[in-house]
């Protein structure tokens, strides 16, 4: 849309120049927003990469909650119900049924503590029986 002037020069009308400048400003604004977004994203990634990761050693003492739950479940299910007193046996059976039907996480704190007490009581009984039979832990040798 060039216009030829009376002196033979060609120039653009003011409306075309204004549209071209507006378009150029919009493009520059979009590029600027894109550059800010890219810089922010790269900055966040770099910060995240700088964070010190906690990596446990293979023989670490740390155990995840899932592993602890599995160990608890195995310990509780290994209870010898024949050795549990009949007063507690019904409650132990009820809690173990609940445990088998759902998961360890559904047990209340009191139910977990109850099962732990039953396991500990069974261990104490087994230890005392071993001592009575003479199979207890050996006493330390005198120096």
List the end-to-end C-alpha distance of the chain, in Å, as a whole number. Answer: 112
Least confident residue range of 8-17, 88-97, 112-121, 130-139: 8-17
Q: How many angstroms separate the Cα of 98 from the Cα of each of 78, 86, 104, 106, 127?
A: 15, 19, 9, 8, 29
Residue 143 has a pLDDT of 45
Helical H segments across the chain, by residue range: 14-50, 65-77, 86-101, 109-133
Mean pLDDT on 40-68: 79
- pTM metric for this prediction: 0.51
> Band of the pLDDT at 98, cuts 50, 70, 90?
very high
> pLDDT, tens digit, for every residue of 101-129?
998 999 999 999 999 999 999 999 889 98
* Nearest CA among 94, 98, 89 for reference residue 118: 89
Look-up of token digits 């009984």: 125
């Amino acid at each position: 849309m060039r216009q030829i002037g009376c002196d033979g020069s060609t120039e653009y009308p003011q409306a075309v120049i204004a549209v071209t400048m507006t378009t150029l400003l919009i493009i520059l604004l979009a590029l600027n927003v894109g550059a800010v977004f890219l810089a922010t994203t790269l900055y966040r990634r770099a910060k995240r990469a700088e964070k010190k990761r906690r990596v446990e050693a293979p023989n670490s003492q740390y155990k995840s909650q899932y592993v602890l739950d599995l160990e608890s479940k195995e310990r509780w299910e290994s209870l010898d119900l024949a050795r549990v007193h009949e007063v507690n046996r019904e409650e132990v059976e009820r809690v173990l049924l609940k445990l088998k039907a759902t998961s360890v996480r559904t047990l209340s704190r009191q139910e977990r503590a109850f099962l732990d007490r039953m396991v500990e009581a069974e261990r104490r009984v087994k230890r005392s029986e071993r001592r009575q039979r003479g199979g207890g832990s050996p006493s330390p040798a005198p120096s």
